[in-house]
Every structure is written in structure tokens, then in C-alpha cells.
Amino acid sequence: MRRKVIAGNWKMNMLPNEAMNFINALAERQGQEKTCEVILCVPYTDLFYSLLTAQNTPIKIGAQNMHWEERGAYTGEIAPEMLQCINVQYVIIGHSERRQYFAETDETVNKKVKAALAHELTPILCVGETLKQKEVGLAEEVITKQVELALGGLIAKQVEEVIIAYEPIWAIGTGKVATKEDANDAIKQIRNKIADLYGEETAQNVTILYGGSVNGKNAKELFSTSDIDGALVGGASLKVGEFEEIIKSI
Ligand code: 13P
């Protein structure tokens, strides 16, 4: 059985007091119930508060980005060990907003995935096509290439530790969720690519999420498919009731 994951990506939202209130409220609603891994990827300034608040609850805390170098003259950046040493367990890598606004490339994404694994951080690797690429029939080529390049140099065992999130860019923050069939097909294409590169067993073991306008209403349908192992949730992860609905849907 593959692990099931519901991860929230708060993006550039939530002050520390809001983060702590959210985590307390979610923990209270959920209790110790654990049907899947629940992860909140919070801004850097919320990490420490969130980790303390989430102690003794099943909620896990992740970051949204990091640099790949160990240390050095990279003003404004955060190193993998800085996350590891405060017990962060997950880090989003290669989100489309970082690729689009902060010039992340497949090459830097690959470096970050390797650095995360080297520091016992689980990378949540994001891939996804633009609307234009989808319209001209390039979606499969784009997402499988992104996966191949991001995982380059890893061995099969390491690939199994990566959580992949298929997030079509046209579905992010638009309210236009992919159909369950399309999302499931894209995730199967990713799995097939991993099977080609690392073998069928690895492909069957790797957790792959869908992201893009997931909410409390559409989550159940998405999770009823063969290959969608959970969700990476943006906007709907900022409202505790809605996020709980998504968790309950898996
Ligand atoms: P939305 O759920 O707001 O569409 O965002 C998805 C996303 O980018 C998660 O990483």
C-alpha cells in the first residue's frame, strides 16, 4: 500500500499566531486519528511556532523551499541543515510559482531534491504543464521530462522517498480543477516514466499527489481513482474546516 498524503501549501500566508491557531484547531478536530499523513508547508517565519504547536499531534510540518548548498554567501536563502536541525521533515521543491517567478530550473530542482534527501527531508516535488502546453498536446512530454530531470542521479530506493505532486499550472488558484480522469491519467504517465527509469516496483511505491483547486467538495472524487494518492492543497488549506473536509475525503 502506498502512503496517502494530504499536504497544505500555505504559500505566502499566515502569521505565526494564525498558524498556531490553525494547528490547534485542526488537531482538536482530528484528535489522534490518522488515516493519512497530514502535512502543513508553512512560511519560514512560521516554522518554529508550527513545529512546537504540532508536537504531540499527528500533524507534520514542512517548508516551501530551500537552497541546495550547505552554507555560504547566499543572502536570503535557507540551507537544508537549517530546516533539518529544527526537525522540519518535508520541503516543497520546484513549485510552479518558484519556477515561474524565481527562475527555478529543472537543474536547480534536481540539486534541491538531492540536498533534501541528503538531509533526511522528504521532498514534495512539484511538476505540471501550462495551459498552452496542454492545448498543443505536450502535457505528457513536459511532466515526464520534469520528473526525469528532477530525479536524475537518484537510486530507486531514494525515488521511493520522494513525494511527487502533479499540479497542472492552469488549475492552480483558478477554481478549474482537472477532471479525475485527466488527473489520474497524468499521474499514471508519471508512474510509467518512473517504471521505465527505476523499475515497476519503485513506480508502484512512489506516492503521487494531485494539486490545483482541490477543495472540500471535489476531493472525494479525485481520491476515488486508482493512482491519486492524496492532494497538495493551496487556498483550501487556509481554512481549517475545508482542509479537514479534504482530509476526511481520503
Ligand atoms: P490551489 O489549491 O489554491 O489551486 O493551489 C494549489 C497549489 O499550488 C498547491 O501547491
pTM more than 0.95: yes
CATH architecture of 5-249: Alpha-Beta Barrel (3.20)
Q: Whose CA is nearest to atom 1 of ligand 1?
A: 234
Alpha-carbon distance 158 to 223, whole Å? Answer: 25
The set of cell numbers assigned to 107 is: 537543474
Residue ranges per structural domain of the chain: 5-249
What pLDDT score does 217 carry?
A: 97
The atom number, within ligand 1, closest to the CA of 95 reads: 10
Specify whether the CB–CB gap between 39 and 248 falls below 8 A: no
Mean pLDDT, consecutive 10-residue segments, the chain of 250 residues? 96 98 96 88 98 97 98 98 98 98 98 98 98 98 98 98 98 97 98 98 98 98 98 98 96
What pLDDT score does 202 carry?
A: 98
Distances from the Cα of 218 to the Cα of 207, 215, 223, 249, angstroms = 20, 6, 9, 9
Closest to 213 in 3D by CA, of 183, 244, 248: 183
71 Cα–ligand 1 center, Å: 30
What pLDDT score does 30 carry?
A: 86
Specify whether the CB–CB gap between 116 and 91 falls below 8 A: yes
What pLDDT score does 33 carry?
A: 76
Catalytic residue check, 70: no
Q: Which of 42, 64, 172 to mutate to test the pocket of ligand 1 (most atoms within 8 A of CB)?
A: 172
What pLDDT score does 235 carry?
A: 98
Alpha-carbon distance 143 to 190, whole Å? Answer: 7
